[in-house]
Amino acid sequence: MYIIIVGGGRLGYYLMKALIEEGHEVLVLEKDARVCKTITDELGSVCFRGDGCEASTLAEVGTGRADMFVAVTGDDEDNLVSCQVAKHKHNVPRTIARLRNPKNAALFKKLGVDVTVNSTDIIIEAIEHEVPTHPVTQLLSLDEKGLIIVDVKIPARSTLVGKMVKDLPLPAESKLALIIPSKGSAHVPVAHTILQPGDQIIAITPSQHGDALEKLLRST
């Protein structure tokens, strides 16, 4: 695949290395001549100096034949515009933008960016997961299906302890996928599985029901 990355910062740099490793044809667009030179010195001609928001630059690097276009600069507005230029001027089938402000996800979707990756949320979730009192962590968001996968720990005094899975008032389209008990091995819950204190549950739910599911599983 031919993949264009906008932004040769740390994220762009490591992403490029990983993609080259996988055997893809990768090109990084970077405005800063020094950054560009550092990358070229190390990895050969995989960096083009130019503004990834300019249609002419994108034409020069053959964006028209790119399979994927990834914008990972530190500014949401630059990532948005470069993805829009790639999409509308060069018909790139898949555009991906990094987000700093989580609130921009809906806007970017609406404006034609295929996938958004929110680095702030990912880091916050990862750190929150390490806080022992934090009972719910979002593990993954399947944006195209509008689903999220969450990791919930059932508190010992939860009203759900001792109840069967089939009796839980789960929000619509929500499923418990896996139970990891505090002792013993993980198992897939069935209708008659009884929840135990300290169970760790991996559940899947439509993103709009995320809060409701969290509230239910934490109710004490």
- The contact set with another protein (CB under 8 A) reads 53-56, 75-78, 80-81, 84-85, 88-89, 101, 103, 106-107, 110-111
Minimum CB–partner distance for residue 88 and another protein (Å): 6
**Between 88 and 175, CB nearer to another protein:** 88
For residue 191, give Cα distances in angstroms to 39, 147, 165, 201. 55, 22, 5, 15
Minimum CB–partner distance for residue 70 and another protein (Å): 17
Minimum CB–partner distance for residue 111 and another protein (Å): 6
Q: What is the rounded CA–CA span in Å between residue 141 and residue 152?
A: 15
Q: What is the rounded CA–CA span in Å between residue 37 and residue 99?
A: 26
Taking the mean position of all CA atoms in its chain, how far away is CA 47?
A: 25
**Between 95 and 174, CB nearer to another protein:** 95
**Between 106 and 190, CB nearer to another protein:** 106
Minimum CB–partner distance for residue 137 and another protein (Å): 26
**Between 42 and 75, CB nearer to another protein:** 75
Q: In sequence order, what DSSP letters do the residues of 68-123 get, joined into one string?
A: EEEE--S-HHHHHHHHHHHHHHH--SEEEEEESSGGGHHHHHHTT-SEEEEHHHHH
